[in-house]
Amino acid sequence: MGRTARLLASMTAALLLASVVVLVTVIGSARSLGAAERPNFVLVVTDDLTKRLLRPR
């Protein structure tokens, strides 16, 4: 009986842990969907290329 109780306890703990992980993942996904409406882009344009660097060697 003790072995069955330990098995049941560890199965319950594993199920509880998996449920928490799924719940946290779903909440995180919902938050990231709201942030995806306005993506942040940074465009860097430099004007420091000389003609010497454009010539093939």
What's the pLDDT tens digit per position in 2-55? 999 999 999 999 999 999 999 999 888 877 766 656 667 888 887 777 777 777
CA distances from 36 to 1, 5, 24, 56 (A): 52, 46, 18, 42
Predicted TM-score (pTM) of the model is 0.52
Domain residues for the domain of 22 are: 2-54
Domains held by the chain: number: 1
Q: How many whole angstroms separate alpha carbon 17 and alpha carbon 27?
A: 16
Name which of 9, 8, 28 is nearest 20 in CA terms.
Answer: 28
pLDDT of residue 16: 96
